[in-house]
Amino acid sequence: MLPDTDVRLPSFALPCGVAGPPPKAASSNAKTKIKKPPRPPNAFILYRRAKQPGIVARHQGITNNEVSKEIGRMWHEEPAEIRMKFQKMADAAKQEHMKKYPEYRYRPR
């Protein structure tokens, strides 16, 4: 049997007039968050998308940073005809994007 002792537990009640933490807002998770449409790809993004698999296949273990540098160098060395081909692809992608997302406006943060 335990001896009778006067043990006082700390009180966690806040004094009168002191507010507690604000109530938590509803958590926003990916399921309820409205997803913004992506930006349409520009000519360089389309070029990078086309060239990246070949670079990665030739250079096992290459970092994404190194891939970006290599593709950037390649882009600047491409003749105008190749760059124009990707610009036309970007223009077509932009037109398709405008049809799919007619209310889209680029709004940087």
* Residue 21 is assigned to a structural domain of this protein: no
* Residue 84 is assigned to a structural domain of this protein: yes
- Work out the mean pLDDT of the chain and round it to a whole number: 84
Q: Is the pLDDT of residue 89 over 90?
A: yes
Q: What is the mean pLDDT of residues 44-70?
A: 96
* Residue 78 is assigned to a structural domain of this protein: yes
**pTM of the complete model:** 0.66
- Helices 80-100, 43-58: inter-axial angle, 10-degree rounding: 120
* Residue 7 is assigned to a structural domain of this protein: no
- Residue range of the domain that includes 70: 43-100
* Residue 70 is assigned to a structural domain of this protein: yes
Q: How many domains does the chain have?
A: 1
Return d(Cα 33, Cα 36) in angstroms, integer.
9
* Residue 65 is assigned to a structural domain of this protein: yes
Confidence of residue 33 (pLDDT cuts 50, 70, 90): confident
CATH of the domain at 75: 1.10.30
Residue in the block written with tokens 């593709």: 71
**How distant is the alpha carbon of residue 103 from its chain centre?**
21
Return d(Cα 47, Cα 49) in angstroms, integer.
5
* Residue 106 is assigned to a structural domain of this protein: no
**Tally of CB atoms within 10 A around 59:** 12
Using DSSP's 3-state secondary structure scheme, residue 71 falls into: helix
Return d(Cα 10, Cα 61) in angstroms, integer.
58
Question: Residue 34: its pLDDT value, please?
Answer: 81
